[in-house]
Amino acid sequence: MIKVDQEKCTTCGICVDICPVSAIEISEGVISIDRGSCTLCGVCVSVCPVNAISIKRKAKTEDTSGYKNVWVFTEVASGTLKPVVFELLGKGRELADKLDQKLCAVIIGSGADKFIDELGAYGAELIYMVDDPIYENYSTDAYTSAISQLITEFKPNIFLYGATHVGRDLAPSVASNLGLGLTADCTDLSIEEEDNLLLQTRPAFGGNVMADIICPNTRPQMATVRPNVMEPLAPDENREYEVIERKISIPSRSVRTKILETISGREEHEVGVEEGDCVISGGRGMGSADKFEVLDELAGLLSGVVGCSRPIVELGWIPKSRQVGQSGKTVSPRLYIACGISGAIQHQVGIRNSDIIIAINKDPKAPIFDIADFGVVGDLHQIIPRLIDRLKKR
């Protein structure tokens, strides 16, 4: 049900211009909506400057049969595509093949066209592009409107977002706007054999249990996906793709938040802990902040990056951007070395996808040894300097 509060409405006409199906008109000073052509995409609701339009939705898609294809939201940060985009395309490719549907990327931005070759190389067959200066910086309002409009027009079956700060801000906003189910922070996705539904797997209770979730009655089936879990395809520039561009202009006054300042939390070219192929983390057993220098040295020898557990951030020794675990970053390096980390379940959740886990801890009962492939019970202050010496001699 869509309703206009005529008392609030100033007949400014923004909704008339933006409605993708021209269902709104002003006649005799009153807004009227043609319910036959209205698709309930919600764009008018989000652009109305006086909140005069409202939609009451049921979380149910009336006819799910017309919904096809697997969509991936393309997140851009600091002028490059986020690595999770390639991971989503890798998983999306598998799902699309299984369903015999197309894999599509959705890119919204200002100057978005410079990324389309890359999206094609990583497996997108169809790229939906919305390019306008209003999308230069991410805003919940503008991006929710644009995506809602694309979904309403093109009816995707599945829509995946990275479980990043942006993805976890945007996906629930879209889900709520369109009355859709959404599963957060998935670590696995597959297609159920019997009914072709998306089976979404995610951890809960701090990683103590796993849950399988389906979304039978709403389309698209939406999920945010944890970064660093899915495998990207090897890029191939010979893959063919097609671009569909849509012009969706959102008036700037409909974007209700304004970024005043952006403060970078990391040095330029610094490799984030979630991007490292080898991650060496220190915990409370390190003893003091200056002891992390040996981890830096070890990281230098193994081409790794240094991370830490939560208590270290609380002590203020290392910035939060380097925290590994449930309330920090999830990592999936080739090699993870946990030094003086007891390995609470919240830490384990963040490292479980590492190929190899090495733990060094003086407490033989530390839970980190439960998930370590190779554990050394001993004093890390004795072991790591010796390890560094040996590696230097090689």
The residues in 262-301 that bind another protein, with binding defined as CB under 8 A, are: 262-266, 278
Residue whose CB is less far from another protein, 124 or 372:
372
The type of residue at 51 is N
CB-based contact 123:105 (threshold 8 Å): no
- Residue 392 binding another protein, by CB under 8 A: no
* Nearest approach, Cβ of residue 282 and another protein (Å): 16
CB contact set of 106 (below 8 Å; sequence gap of 6+): 71, 72, 73, 74, 127, 128, 130, 147, 150
- The enclosing H or E element of 389 equals helix 380-392
- Residue 50 binding another protein, by CB under 8 A: no
Residue of 123, 203, 282, 343 interacting with another protein (CB under 8 A): 203
* Nearest approach, Cβ of residue 234 and another protein (Å): 20
User: SS3 for 106?
Assistant: strand
Determine the Cα angle at 137 with ends 133 and 141, to 5°: 90
- Residue 330 binding another protein, by CB under 8 A: no
**Any idea which residue has 């998306």 for tokens?**
198
Residue whose CB is less far from another protein, 62 or 100:
62
- Residue 194 binding another protein, by CB under 8 A: no
Count of residues near another protein by CB under 8 A: 94
- Residue 225 binding another protein, by CB under 8 A: no
- Residue 378 binding another protein, by CB under 8 A: yes
- Interface map 355-374 toward another protein (x if CB under 8 A): -xxx-----x----xxxxxx
Instruction: Return d(Cα 219, Cα 222) in angstroms, integer.
Output: 8
- The enclosing H or E element of 204 equals strand 198-204
- Residue 193 binding another protein, by CB under 8 A: no
Residue whose CB is less far from another protein, 121 or 163:
163
Report the candidate in 64, 39, 85, 46 with the shortest Cα–Cα distance to residue 156.
Answer: 64
- Residue 1 binding another protein, by CB under 8 A: no
Residue whose CB is less far from another protein, 72 or 344:
344
- The enclosing H or E element of 244 equals strand 242-245
- Residue 19 binding another protein, by CB under 8 A: no
Instruction: Return d(Cα 221, Cα 224) in angstroms, integer.
Output: 11
Residue whose CB is less far from another protein, 130 or 313:
313
Residue of 294, 335, 338, 341 interacting with another protein (CB under 8 A): 335
Residue of 34, 113, 136, 314 interacting with another protein (CB under 8 A): 314
Instruction: Return d(Cα 116, Cα 123) in angstroms, integer.
Output: 11
Lookup: tokens for 230? 């899915």
Lookup: tokens for 134? 């209003």
Residue of 13, 17, 110, 211 interacting with another protein (CB under 8 A): 211
Contact range with another protein by CB under 8 A, out of 11-19, 58-66, 91-99, 128-136: 58-66
* Nearest approach, Cβ of residue 106 and another protein (Å): 18
Lookup: tokens for 55? 């939609």
* Nearest approach, Cβ of residue 90 and another protein (Å): 20
* Nearest approach, Cβ of residue 240 and another protein (Å): 32
Instruction: Return d(Cα 236, Cα 96) in angstroms, integer.
Output: 18
Residue whose CB is less far from another protein, 234 or 259:
259
Residues in 92-111 that interact with another protein by CB under 8 A:
none
- Residue 345 binding another protein, by CB under 8 A: yes
Residues in 108-167 that interact with another protein by CB under 8 A:
140-141, 144, 164-166
* Nearest approach, Cβ of residue 104 and another protein (Å): 22
Instruction: Return d(Cα 163, Cα 145) in angstroms, integer.
Output: 20
CB-based contact 313:347 (threshold 8 Å): no
Residues in 243-262 that interact with another protein by CB under 8 A:
256-262
CB-based contact 78:152 (threshold 8 Å): no
Residue of 45, 72, 121, 286 interacting with another protein (CB under 8 A): 45
CB contact set of 259 (below 8 Å; sequence gap of 6+): 137, 139
